[in-house]
Amino acid sequence: MTLTDPTDDLWVIGPGEDDWDPFPHSRPWVDVTGATVRHGTGAVTATFHFVDLRPGHWQEFSLRVASDQPFRRALVTTDRTHPGGRDRLLNRAEDLLSCPGLRHHVDYDADTVRIRLARECVGDPAWVRAALQAHLFREWDAIADNPHNTGPVPTYTRRLAPPAPR
């Protein structure tokens, strides 16, 4: 499914704060313009689209997966020394899980971040709901956007079933 998002709908939160505030400035490298989510026969694939993705920032790209199996969260983190990003898979308790089928691709020319999460790492679910979010971490705060809405908290997609086997 395809999601579209406006620009300049960013939110900011500082350490110790419970609530997000609107961030009234442009940050094109964290501003999501849309995304696609696909539940294929082998993997759940999410592709973020940005206004202008740029290397050199500490950013995190999150794919939360709710399903008929235990919750999973795939994260891709970029920073100054890892512009191509590093990925990891967590459960709800934020324990690190092994998932050889987790892949990602950060493309600064196309302004996209793709996360491919093998279905076996989600427990081969009958359906998934996906929630995507992007964060830009700064020294004293974090700025966020998501392709689902113009608020600070992403909402899950409807249930996405994998293609029926032939």
Q: Which residues bind Ca ion (CB under 5 A)?
A: 5, 9, 31-32, 145
> Does residue 133 contact residue 76 with C-beta atoms inside 8 Å?
no
CB of 36 to Ca ion, least distance (A): 15
CB of 6 to Ca ion, least distance (A): 6
| 122 vs 119: CA distance, rounded Å | 5
Nearer to Ca ion, 8 or 88 (CB): 8
- Report in angstroms the alpha-carbon separations of 1 from 33, 47, 86, 129, 143: 14, 11, 25, 11, 25
Nearer to Ca ion, 104 or 148 (CB): 148
Nearer to Ca ion, 5 or 60 (CB): 5
CB of 145 to Ca ion, least distance (A): 5
Query: What is the Cα 98 distance to its own chain's centre?
Result: 19
| 90, two tokens | 């967590």
| 161 vs 164: CA distance, rounded Å | 8
CB of 23 to Ca ion, least distance (A): 11
| 75, two tokens | 């994260």
Q: Which residue is nearest to Ca ion (CB)?
A: 5
Nearer to Ca ion, 69 or 149 (CB): 149
